[in-house]
Amino acid sequence: MNRRSFSKTLVAAPFILRGQQAPLRARIKIDTERVIGDIDPKIYGNFAEHLGRCIEGGIFDENSSLSDANGYRRDVLDAAKKLGVSLLRWPGGNFSSNYRWKDGIGPRDKRPPRLEMAWGTVESNRFGTHEFLNYCEMLGAEPYICANLGTGTWEEAQQWVEYVNSSKDTAMTRLRKENGRADPWKVTYWGLGNEMDGPWQMGHRSAEDYGKFALEAAKLMKWTDPNVKLIAAGSSNYGGGSDWIGWNRTVLDFLKTHADYLSLHMYVGNPNNDFGEFLTSSLTLGERIKTAEGVINAALSGQPRGRKIYIAWDEWNVWYRARGASQGGGRRMLEEKYNLEDALVVATFLNTFVNNAHILKIANMAQLVNVIAPIFTDEKRMFLQTIYYPLALFANNTKGKALELLVKGPSYPNRRFGDAPCLDASAAIDNETLVINVVNRHQDQPVEAGIELEDKQFAPAVEVSEVNAPDIKAENSFDSTTVKTVKRTIEAGKNSLRYSFPPHSFTMLKTKLT
């Protein structure tokens, strides 16, 4: 759904009637045969970078009594499991562009500390390939490794695939066995570098230079293991006159025969403290997905019909407060504290991913713990940030086929888009279980919706899960959980359901169909 699918004829703005506001009304029509595409579980991915306290002090803390014998924080692992993390990207981000993977294998105490130039620290290398891949196995997540195409070489990228995936008897696989892992991990998802269009990136190149370089790496990686799926670094540099569309087009011209995904990133914020404007961030996301889809289609014209390239939105989140220098350096970097409005933006991003399920097959919230993250720790405790709740609801429930909805309802004026729909929605059907996700972007008013089912009947009981709080700025902390999921059950009619979506809320409705 995008803003153009909304009718402005119903209620364009709150009416004032004898001192009272008339209720805002909407209609949502569902036809279970109107399928957008299969929802890939990998859209509920996450990201762990060697940055601040994401890995050391988050996922992994060898000195903590909360950790298991291998150094993994048990409380964090448990929270990550409940979050339904399907895919975990590692080791960066910007970090990946100066990561020497061979430093991170072998006995931990013998691994070399190295200057780390992406974030200006020293990398201990105590968490490396084995620690990451074993963590993914414990978590039940697919690993996604981002190769170093910044300072790294083709050979390093190729040998990493060989070390991790090969069953042949070679120097690389003997080394893996010496380091305690007999069987290959068979990692499918590999990134061809990170944000290579950005001047901030080590090894930054022009689109032509990156395209040529990445193609050679891709050839070697696929010749080492034909089953790997490769993710090309697209441009996420949208501002300042940069030509993100041109970058992607050029890169795909080089990589159209080898890349399986195009990686895109987007972080959003509310620097103007304008709730209505902030909540439209997902409309920009939707426009960018459509643009990227067009670029991919253009690059693929002339390719065999079966050749596909999907979008991997492999970094996304709200991130605008805890930027670099404001953190004062040191280990506490990018430690964003999230509130309710951030959680609502996260829910609208997830709606947008589901509404583009045909082309968007990977998404990774950045990042998992402490660093712009849903899970937050100190040495002794952990809490779940506001953004944890919508992500967990989506990942655990919104599965199967994404449905195209007809949503007619009110809109509200805002600076970025002129007007924007109050309701942002998505739906999915999986084995006769229907899930409807709705964010009410209106800050003050509920929206009363009639939900009509065209071709099936609702079971009487509908499970309602709501993420909300009286204050849009409400945050969670070690001591209190103000923003969380609250559940209840309501009754539906046979093919209609009335529901009043509270102001500034995210609601998931889940029911069986008959």
Binding footprint of ligand AHR on the chain (CB under 6 A): 49, 92-94, 194-195, 315, 366-367
Q: Using CB atoms, what's the residue nearest to ligand AHR?
A: 93
In 3D, which of 135, 248, 263 has the Cα closest to residue 189? 263
The count of other CB atoms within 10 Å of the CB of residue 40 is: 19
Six-digit token pair at 332?
A: 């506490």
178 is catalytic: no
How near is the Cβ of 367 to ligand AHR at its closest, in Å?
Answer: 6
Residue in the block written with tokens 């712009």: 372
Calpha distance 269→321 (Å, rounded): 8
Instruction: Give the Cβ contact number of residue 70 at 10 Å.
Output: 12
User: Smallest gap, in angstroms, from Cβ of residue 129 to ligand AHR?
Assistant: 19
Return d(Cα 168, Cα 176) in angstroms, integer.
12
3-state helix, strand, coil in the chain (%, to 5): 30, 30, 45
Q: Of these residues, 56, 131, 195, 466, which one is catalytic?
A: 195
The closest alpha carbon to 11, from 408, 440, 444, 410, belongs to 410
Q: Which is nearer to ligand AHR, 64 or 201 (CB)?
A: 201
Nearer to ligand AHR, 91 or 421 (CB): 91
Q: Strand pairing of 189-192 and 35-38? A: unpaired
Whose structure tokens read 């670094």? 233
Instruction: Tell the smallest beta-carbon distance from residue 234 to ligand AHR (Å).
Output: 12
In the three-class reduction of DSSP (H, G, I as helix; E, B as strand; rest coil), residue 245 is classed as: helix
> By C-beta, is 339 or 367 nearer to ligand AHR?
367
Q: Which residue of the set 131, 162, 315, 475 is catalytic?
A: 315
CB of residue 93 to ligand AHR, shortest distance in Å:
3
Based on CB atoms, which residue is closest to ligand AHR, 310 or 316? 316
Output the CA–CA distances (angstroms, integers) from residue 170 to 159, 163, 174, 176, 184, in the order listed.
10, 9, 6, 10, 12
CB of 345 to ligand AHR, least distance (A): 16
71/92 with CB nearer ligand AHR:
92
Residue 315 known to be catalytic: yes
Residues classed as catalytic? 195, 315
